């Protein structure tokens, strides 16, 4: 999943980007409203984490401009202001959630996950495909009740495919949602990642859960339809 963090505090931005990347997200960051608006308008993100008090364009103004441009990305507002009118103003400007500083990093991640689930219209944190079970809250993957360890990026790839179960996901979409702008992408990076993922989740002799649609992309489902 790909996130955009717009925060003007260097130290907070650095630690959040670091933590979110280590949690398996592809994260782009902007230090002011202008840059944030540009990235949010031109790139595709699953969730936008937005500070309100920003230089150049403040967070609420950015949000309104984004909504006026028809962007429906889920937005989580970060702010030090906890007064009810501030929260109401944020939600009315088009935000989906509101988090007051200081916050627990774990809570931020949980709220981001909830917004991602909402984006994919899934309320259940547990998703089952055959005997494969993914707990998106605990980030635990099991097959036939046997835990499978995945690297953060592998987990993010599987979660992205599972969230769009039954739909063909193109390589370009996978690149856009799993890798941030600073990632050095080689032409076969997605194929290599899929191959590594298959090795970890598929069982010997059983059909793979990740099916290739030649020239189109990949699809996750119980059976290859």
- The verdict on 49 binding another protein (CB under 8 A) reads no
* Residue 70, both tokens: 């028809």
Q: Which is nearer to another protein, 14 or 213 (CB)?
A: 14
Q: How far apart are CA 167 and CA 202, in angstroms?
A: 20
Report strand pairing: 146-148 vs 140-143.
antiparallel
Q: Which is nearer to another protein, 136 or 217 (CB)?
A: 136
Q: Which of 72, 92, 100, 110 binds another protein (CB under 8 A)?
A: 100
- The verdict on 103 binding another protein (CB under 8 A) reads yes
Q: Which of 12, 91, 129, 168 binds another protein (CB under 8 A)?
A: 12
Asked if 77 and 52 count as a contact pair (C-beta separation under 8 A), the reply is yes
Q: Which range, of 48-56, 121-129, 163-171, 191-199, touches another protein by CB under 8 A?
A: 48-56
Per 3-state DSSP, what percentage of the chain is helix, strand, and coil (rounded to 5)? Answer: 40, 20, 40
- The verdict on 202 binding another protein (CB under 8 A) reads no
Could you tell me which of 175, 177, 152, 146 has the C-alpha nearest to residue 163?
A: 177
Give the dihedral sign, CA 4/83/118/57: negative
Q: Which is nearer to another protein, 104 or 186 (CB)?
A: 104
The footprint of another protein (CB under 8 A) covers 8-9, 11-12, 14-16, 18-19, 22, 32, 53-56, 58, 80-83, 85-86, 100-106
């Amino acid at each position: 999943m790909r996130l955009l963090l717009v925060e003007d505090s260097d130290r907070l931005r650095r630690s959040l980007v670091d933590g979110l990347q280590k949690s398996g997200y592809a994260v782009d960051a902007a230090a002011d409203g202008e840059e944030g608006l540009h990235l949010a308008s031109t790139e595709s993100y699953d969730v936008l984490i937005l500070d309100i008090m920003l230089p150049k364009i403040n967070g609420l103004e950015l949000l309104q401009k984004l909504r006026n441009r028809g962007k429906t990305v889920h937005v989580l507002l970060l702010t030090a202001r906890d007064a009810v009118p501030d929260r109401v103003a944020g939600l009315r400007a088009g935000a989906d959630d509101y988090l007051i500083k200081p916050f627990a990093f774990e809570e931020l991640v949980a709220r981001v996950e909830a917004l991602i689930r909402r984006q994919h219209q899934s309320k259940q944190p547990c998703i089952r495909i055959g005997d494969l079970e993914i707990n998106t809250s605990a980030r635990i993957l099991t097959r036939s009740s046997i835990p499978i360890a995945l690297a953060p990026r592998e987990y993010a790839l599987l979660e992205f495919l599972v969230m769009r179960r039954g739909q063909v996901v193109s390589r370009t979409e996978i690149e856009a949602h799993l890798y941030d702008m600073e990632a050095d992408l080689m032409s076969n990076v997605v194929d290599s990642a899929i191959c590594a993922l298959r090795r970890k989740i598929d069982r010997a002799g059983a059909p793979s859960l990740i099916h290739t649609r030649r020239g189109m992309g990949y699809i996750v489902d119980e059976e290859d339809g």
